[in-house]
Structure 1
Amino acid sequence: MHSTLVMRRAAASFVPTNPYLSLNGCIFKRHSSDLSELKAEMTARKLATISDVLTAIPTRLLNASLTDYLPNHFKAQPFTLPYGYHLVHFPPPIRSSKLLPDGTDPMQSPGGLFTRRMWAGGDIIFGPSGKLDNSYIHCVERISNVQVRGLEEDQKIFVSIERSVFPGKKAGDSRDETGRWTGGLLKEMRTLVFMRSDRPKAPVDPSNTSDKVLKTAQSPDYSHHLVPTPTLLFRFSALTFNAHAIHLDKQYCREVEGHRNLLVHGPLSLVLMLQFMQHCLMKENRERKDGKREWIRSIQYRNLAPLYAEEDMKICLKRKGQEDLKADWDVWIEGRDGGYAVKGAVTTKIVASNEVEVNHQVHNSG
């Protein structure tokens, strides 16, 4: 009983008391109980275009962070932006004093009681890769949809964020005469889920070893085990400018969020899946007899259960089917009890060897 009261008091301290938020000169309501009003307000928010320079430094730092966790990861340095590495670019330049109490971005939050944020999933379509040659890139971001699901304390708000990444000295360089964006390096849709802070939580027992899991029903063609450490989570948080306490503060995870340990970032699990798949494709490409090469074109994924630091996770791949110019793969991550934690689908592009130089992600992995 005492521990339950402690958690509820801790959670209550993280509820914003001001119903309005001021950011970049704009004032808007944190939350409205009316869905249409909430959706209209959030989708009207003006998220800043974030510009960056494609240097090799963030890539090298992320390589150094991942090398101990992936097989034969980057024997040589890549000269183009690897799959998923756009995530270490375009951090929102928000001052620490403007972050929400849990360290997250206020511009993506519905506010009110909905303070418990998780990464629900997303999809990415990859275009031509950007070269790590100090060229300019820009990320245009907007909230594209807001949905409310569930009732009362189980109610959740899903916020969909659309991101487009373009090259050019100025953000407008990639617009055509009609104002539409062209020539993008990638298009990404990510979905965040916000849960109520007053949602009942049972006391956390770190010694509990049983999870309710959805067991996988297929055997992978390729798999890889790893154990993410607090050091890996800290480094990824630093590289992505992410101060969310669920990745950094074990006490906060247990007392406020009701988790037994630090949570692995949703985007970190995405990068790990993409890089392991790239390693396997490179291996298959070297063994092909037809002179063709296969590269990742798109990925869709959903996060179904948390992944925790200091616990085994297994990345799995299985080829579903292949045509002349593309192939479909299932990709997933299993948690420590063998159930789905992440479930996704990848489409690849198959090209002739003489097209490799103009294809996406030609780098020296594996």
Structure 2
Amino acid sequence: MSEPPLTDWIGARETCEETIAEFPAQAAAAMLDSDPAAMRSGAPLPALWHWFYFLPRAPRSAIDTDGHPKRGGFFPPVTLPRRMFAGARTTFHEPIIVGDAATREGEIVDVKEKSGRSGKLVFVTVRYHISQGGVLRVEEEQDIVYKEPGPPIRDPEPLPAQPDAPPGARVRDITPDSVLLFRFSALTFNAHRIHYDLPYAREEEGYPGLVVHGPLTAVLLAGLAEEHTARRISRFVFQGRGPLFVQHPFRLVAEPAGDTVSLRADGPDGVIALQATAELAPAGGRQQA
């Protein structure tokens, strides 16, 4: 019998329930050099920190050679070997509160097969709703991309110096190390080997070094957007455009303009690796613990 078409997974649903415990948020704060004690019960989660909850719990016997769970289940069984979290559109209706029970409802809303310069591609879009106390807190669409293996990627060639930041921009330089990647992998229960297994990253997936998680870069950008304002993020959109690597410095840039902050992560070669936009809630919209 032939395999069912991948589009048959459109409409697939799953529901997860979890208490937003203190430890993941406190561990994330420690990883990011914030105050873990601030993430006590009753505190609002910073933007995108819901990614440290509702994690897949695939047993070891169900893990594929790349470290991801084997294909199938809620997500369609795409056979293309490379997969990545390519982007998301997240609306924060209300903050998620640490210590309270929460429900996440997921639905596969689109599956598209395409061919591009890098070969065959499959785009899977999943929509999540996260609620607490019957109130919708977060609505998110994630884009998961599956693709064929490509040619090896070279080390980025660093610029002699990073260009000056635009007037009024906030800038932070990051030199990622393997400890940061390990902690983020642990917090997200992400065993994809490109983030910790250097021989695998080089020999199997063709990267020059360990790869920085795209969601980690997005979390760092969201934190930079929130750092200098009393207003919380009401919507965050990001798209990955290229990889970043351990021990290769990259630059976070935030350009505020009224209710919007334009964000990007520039690689050491000056090429944008991840681009994002944060929209800010009205003044006074940040919920206090």
- Normalised by the shorter chain, which TM-score bucket? 0.7 to 0.9
Give yes or no for contact 1:126–1:360 (8 Å, CA) kept in 2: no
> Aligned Cα RMSD in Å?
2.6
Give 5+ residue unaligned stretches, structure 1.
Answer: 1-18, 21-28, 68-72, 169-173, 175-182, 283-293
> Is 1:144 aligned to residue 109 of structure 2?
yes
Give yes or no for contact 1:246–1:262 (8 Å, CA) kept in 2: yes
Q: Which residue of 2 aligns with 1:338?
A: 270
Secondary structure in structure 2 of the residue aligned to 1:129: coil
> Is 1:155 aligned to residue 102 of structure 2?
no
2:117 and 2:12 map into 1 onto residues whose CA distance is: 26
In the superposition, relative to structure 1, how do residues 334 and 109 fare at CA in structure 2: closer, same or farther (>3 Å)?
farther
Give yes or no for contact 2:27–2:36 (8 Å, CA) kept in 1: no
TM-score with structure 1 length normalisation? 0.70
> Is 1:236 aligned to residue 184 of structure 2?
yes
Please say which of residues 299-308 and 91-100 is displaced more in the overlay. 91-100
2:20 and 2:172 map into 1 onto residues whose CA distance is: 30
Counterpart AA for 2:139:
K
Shift of 1:185: 1.2
In the superposition, relative to structure 1, how do residues 252 and 145 fare at CA in structure 2: closer, same or farther (>3 Å)?
same
Secondary structure in structure 1 of the residue aligned to 2:204: helix
Shift of 1:272: 0.8
> Is 1:119 aligned to residue 85 of structure 2?
yes
Aligned with residue 6 of structure 2, among 12, 35, 38: 38
Count residues in correspondence: 280
2:163 and 2:130 map into 1 onto residues whose CA distance is: 34
> Is 1:189 aligned to residue 141 of structure 2?
yes
1:154 and 1:217 map into 2 onto residues whose CA distance is: 37
Shift of 1:44: 4.3
1:65-93 per-position Cα deviation (integer Å, ceiling 9, x unaligned): 111xxxxx348514221211111100022
In the superposition, relative to structure 1, how do residues 121 and 217 fare at CA in structure 2: closer, same or farther (>3 Å)?
farther
Secondary structure in structure 2 of the residue aligned to 1:194: strand
1:17-41 per-position Cα deviation (integer Å, ceiling 9, x unaligned): xx99xxxxxxxx4xx6xxxx322x2
Shift of 1:110: 3.9
Counterpart AA for 1:233:
L
Give 5+ residue unaligned stretches, structure 2.
Answer: none
Give yes or no for contact 2:26–2:36 (8 Å, CA) kept in 1: no
Aligned with residue 307 of structure 1, among 199, 221, 244: 244
2:157 and 2:115 map into 1 onto residues whose CA distance is: 26
Secondary structure in structure 1 of the residue aligned to 2:281: strand
Shift of 1:349: 1.7
Q: Which residue of 1 aligns with 2:235?
A: 298
Shift of 1:149: 2.3
2:276 and 2:118 map into 1 onto residues whose CA distance is: 29
In the superposition, relative to structure 1, how do residues 343 and 152 fare at CA in structure 2: closer, same or farther (>3 Å)?
closer
In the superposition, relative to structure 1, how do residues 253 and 126 fare at CA in structure 2: closer, same or farther (>3 Å)?
same
Shift of 1:231: 0.8
Shift of 1:156: 1.1
Secondary structure in structure 2 of the residue aligned to 1:350: coil
1:59 and 1:269 map into 2 onto residues whose CA distance is: 17
In the superposition, relative to structure 1, how do residues 224 and 362 fare at CA in structure 2: closer, same or farther (>3 Å)?
farther
1:339 and 1:252 map into 2 onto residues whose CA distance is: 25
Shift of 1:131: 2.3
> Is 1:56 aligned to residue 56 of structure 2?
no
Shift of 1:299: 1.0
The 5 Å alignment of 1:250-329 reads 250-282=198-230, 294-320=231-257, 322=258, 327-329=259-261
Give yes or no for contact 1:298–1:346 (8 Å, CA) kept in 2: yes
Give yes or no for contact 2:225–2:261 (8 Å, CA) kept in 1: no
Give yes or no for contact 1:233–1:248 (8 Å, CA) kept in 2: yes
Give yes or no for contact 1:216–1:339 (8 Å, CA) kept in 2: no
1:222 and 1:229 map into 2 onto residues whose CA distance is: 22
In the superposition, relative to structure 1, how do residues 153 and 335 fare at CA in structure 2: closer, same or farther (>3 Å)?
closer
Greater helix share, structure number: 1
In the superposition, relative to structure 1, how do residues 75 and 193 fare at CA in structure 2: closer, same or farther (>3 Å)?
closer
In the superposition, relative to structure 1, how do residues 337 and 53 fare at CA in structure 2: closer, same or farther (>3 Å)?
same
Q: Name the larger-Rg structure.
A: 1
Secondary structure in structure 2 of the residue aligned to 1:337: coil
TM-score with structure 2 length normalisation? 0.87
Secondary structure in structure 2 of the residue aligned to 1:297: strand
1:117 and 1:90 map into 2 onto residues whose CA distance is: 20
